[in-house]
Amino acid sequence: NAGVTQTPKFQVLKTGQSMTLQCAQDMNHNSMYWYRQDPGMGLRLIYYSASEGTTDKGEVPNGYNVSRLNKREFSLRLESAAPSQTSVYFCASSLGGQSGNTIYFGEGSWLTVV
């Protein structure tokens, strides 16, 4: 019962380094999401993919790129990490297609940029 799997769980980066957060789901979901969570700010949508082959910007896309590699996988890339990108990142997925489908979250990735 894996659900939504994110890697890595913890990462420390130096300013200017790049990295990719990986996300995979095994629920045959169509839609996938990346959120970041900062104290007092709630969950903010970075990018989402309504279906395989499509991606769209969320509320805070600057400094990030995404790839919907296939139906299962949706990766988030930081090309040149900045301290402001220190955050907890959650990947999520849902059946999509309708607004009434539950979103399932991964366990989160704790990223620190120094």
Partner 1 sequence: QQPVQSPQAVILREGEDAVINCSSSKALYSVHWYRQKHGEAPVFLMILLKGGEQKGHEKISASFNEKKQQSSLYLTASQLSYSGTYFCGTVSGGSNYKLTFGKGTLLTVNP
Residues that bind partner 1 (CB under 8 A): 31, 33, 35, 40-45, 48, 50, 56, 58-59, 90, 94, 96-108
Q: Rounded CA gap, 36 and 43, in Å?
A: 6
C-beta of 5 vs 17, nearer to partner 1: 5
Q: Rounded CA gap, 64 and 10, in Å?
A: 18
C-beta of 63 vs 96, nearer to partner 1: 96
Q: Rounded CA gap, 16 and 34, in Å?
A: 21
C-beta of 35 vs 64, nearer to partner 1: 35
